[in-house]
Every structure is written in C-alpha cells, then in structure tokens.
A and B are shown apart, each in its own frame.
Chain A
C-alpha cells in the first residue's frame, strides 16, 4: 500500500512569489492535514480537510490556503512568500478526521521550502 506522497521534495523560491505544494494521501484516506515544522517550534497545525471540506484551521495568516479534491488529494498554497516561511511542510492522512478518538495520522516525507 503506497504511503503519503508529497511533491516536490525541495523548493527554492524568492520573497514575494507564491508556491503550491501537493499531497496524495494513502488510498482510502479522506482526511488530509498540513503542518509546518521549523526548528524549535515542533509541528504547527495549518489546516485539515475531510471530504473536500476544511474542518479546522490553525493560527496562520490568510496567505496560507489549501484545498482538497474529490480524489482526496490536497494542495497547499502560500502567497507573497516571506523569509520566515522557510520550513518543512508536512502532510498527514488519516481514515477519519483527526478529531475522532483513536485516529492515527500517517505522514509524508515533507516538502522543504526555502525562501530567499
């Protein structure tokens, strides 16, 4: 069974540009969550989608947005990039929403975004 696939693995962008990251969940999983990992901050929750609907959103500015398609694949978009957006962006998929007790999330390898 294929795992969670994130593309691309690495990205270098310039300040002010926008970027789109992609996540293909495990087959059959309908929930996709996105996290930002920076040194010393752990994993910060960005948002979660379940059946094409955004269920929750973390405390990030509106420059960060996402969507989920009917095949459960998800994209995350960051507009007007800032240097502080440099991070590892992780996507996780699960069968049920993460608010469901007993749900385990499975992570992709992440996309390393560097903003210069």
Chain B
C-alpha cells in the first residue's frame, strides 16, 4: 500500500520557468516531509524539508508547500535550470521514512 504517491512520473519544463512537483499522502500521522533529488548512478541527495506545523518552507530557488487538509505536498523550483534535471522523490516520516515513486524532471535549455 503506497502511502506516499507521486502521480506524475515525468515533467518537462523550459529553462527559467517554474517547475512544480506534486506529492500526495494518505497517513495523517506523518509529521515531517522531505524532498530528495537523485541523479543517475548516485544516491538521493536531501533537498528541502518541512515540518507538519508549517505550511511553507523556502530555501533559495526551492520552496515546499504543505496542505495538511488536502494531504498534499508540492515542491516549486523557480527559476528552473538544466542542472535541476533529475528524479525527485518526496518522503514522509512517521516511524520510518515512506518514499514516493519519484518524478523525473527535465529542464529544457
């Protein structure tokens, strides 16, 4: 049973535009959410996180939004750069980390 879902397997965005990656979860006990970025042949790299007591967290070009009532999480990248092309995983934490299946982002120069 997939408790964290990323329904878009892939996304293509023009360089300079906004990339929006979405994530839905089912377990209301999740209290911490994270985004990881993964390049081929490398392990996932931590990107940004948000606690369930907040609805927004910003770090440079990356902003994560949390809508607890909708059980929805999104990552905004503005402006998108070609180096952002990677697979992005969202994760939620309760007793353990639960990961989504990932969204492959391609930023077109």
Contacts and interface: CB of A to CB of B under 8 A. Distances in A.
Given A42-B89, A42-B101, A98 B96 contact: yes
A83 interface: no
B46 A56 contact: no
B11 to A, nearest CB: 16
B98 A109 contact: no
A104 B100 contact: no
B76 to A, nearest CB: 20
A43 B34 CA distance: 14
Interface residues of B, number: 27
26 contacts: A33-B96, A35-B99, A40-B101, A41-B101, A42-B4, A42-B89, A43-B44, A45-B98, A45-B99, A56-B95, A56-B96, A90-B43, A90-B44, A98-B96, A99-B93, A99-B95, A99-B96, A102-B49, A103-B93, A104-B49, A106-B46, A107-B36, A107-B43, A108-B43, A109-B41, A110-B43
B32 interface: yes
B94 interface: yes
B58 interface: no
Contacts of B4: 42
A90 B32 CA distance: 21
B51 interface: yes
A16 interface: no
B55 interface: no
B98 to A, nearest CB: 7
A98 B34 CA distance: 12
Q: Which 10 A-B pairs have CB atoms at the shortest separation, nearest pair first? A: A107-B43, A42-B101, A43-B99, A42-B99, A107-B44, A109-B43, A99-B95, A56-B96, A108-B43, A104-B46
